[in-house]
Amino acid sequence: MDGRQIRGIRLPAAVFELENVSYSYERVVALDAASLAIPAGQRVALLGANGSGKSTLLRLLDGLCFAGPGTIRFRGEPVTEERFQDETFSFDFRRRVGLIFQNPDVQLFNPTVFDEVAFGPLQLRWPRDLIRQRVAQTLDDLDIAHLKDRPPHRLSGGEKKRVAIASVLILDPQVLLLDEPTAALDPRSQSQTIDLLAGWKDTGRTVVTATHDLDSVEEIADYCFVFQAGRLVAQGSPAAVLGDTNLLRQTGLLHVHRHTHGSGEVHSHPHRHHDPQP
């Protein structure tokens, strides 16, 4: 796979390539004829308001649901339901691609944090001693070793998110897919999560983050795709996308906010949305 050039930016070979990919829930179209390439080793942001198709795209990329019309390729190989019947392909794909869900409660189903982080390696049949060693290491790396014997449902939102990230990071995937990683977190946990994502720059790992938190985009992404109602409407560098006020307003990422200052002066200006609290 050769590198490609989009809007003047030289991109490396694609790890994921999508051609005219569509997906519908019953009669509701979630993704509509999306074509894009996600370059290997890059940090990519999928931007869009709620219901724009970002989460659906992540699930398609992770092989959890499969495109109707259109094709998805991972390192040149088609990602289809049939391919996942092959245990070798499935193991290889699951080791290389990890998805962190928006709601950590979905991802934390084991009795203790230790068991949770060990779940993935156990499914991939790693040796038991290696699993124990790697779980301890991963918990240390994410500064959550003190939580190892706690049941995940008793953790705070920020701790749950870190455990969810640890449960995927232990597999050391080449591609990380994150769905709204800062959603519903308090400011401190948000900042810790963004620091973590920012630290993955230049690590050779491909990171795809679905978000509508524009404040963190420049820190966590080198390239952006913008979605609106299931359609890919724009792409470019974070600076280019964030500088296009019309685009942001059109896609629901920015709106005009009218408010009153202490002096009584009333004025309006474009206003970015942060992640909603639960």
Partner 1 sequence: MRANRVVEGSVQGFLRVLGRTLESEELARRDGLLQSLDPRVKLLGFMGLIVAAAASRRMEVIGAVFGLAIVLAICSRVPLRTLMIRVWAGGFAFTGMIAVPAFFLTPGRPIWWLPVLGWAVTAQGFRGAVYLISRVETTATLSMLLVLCTPWTHVLKALRVLRVPIVLVVILGMTYRYILLMIGTAEEMFESRRSRMVGKLEAKEGRRLAIATVGVLLGKTMQLSGDVYLAMQSRGFRGEVYVLDDFEMRLRDWSWLAAFFALSAAAMWMGAR
Strand partners, 41: none
**Would you count residue 132 as binding partner 1 (CB under 8 A)?**
yes
Q: At what angle do helices 128-141 and 113-123 cross, to 10 degrees?
A: 130
Q: Residue 19, class by beta-carbon neighbours within 10 Å (0-12 exposed, 13-18 middle, 19+ buried)? A: middle
Kind and range of the H or E element at 241? helix 238-243
Name the residue nearer to partner 1 (CB basis): 153 or 249. Answer: 153
Does 223 interact with partner 1 (rule: CB under 8 A)? no
Alpha helices in 97-228 (DSSP H): 104-107, 113-123, 128-141, 157-169, 187-198, 217-220
Q: Which stretch binds partner 1 (CB under 8 A): 69-77, 100-108, 191-199, 266-274?
A: 100-108
The site map against partner 1 for 61-90 (x = CB under 8 A) is -x-x----------------------x--x
Residues in the interface with partner 1 (CB under 8 A) total: 38
- Kindly state the smallest distance separating residue 51's Cβ from partner 1, in Å: 16
Residue 43 or 160: the one with the smaller Cβ distance to partner 1 is: 160
Our finding on whether 91 is near partner 1 (CB under 8 A) is: yes
CA distance 167 to 106: 12
**Residue 87: which region, alpha, beta or left (left: phi > 0; alpha: psi -120 to 50)?**
alpha
> Shortest distance, CB of residue 97 to partner 1, whole angstroms?
8
160-189: contacts with partner 1 (CB under 8 A): 167-168, 171
Contact residues for partner 1 (CB under 8 A)? 59, 62, 64, 87, 90-91, 94-95, 98-99, 101, 103, 105-107, 109-112, 114-115, 118-120, 122-125, 128, 131-132, 151-154, 167-168, 171
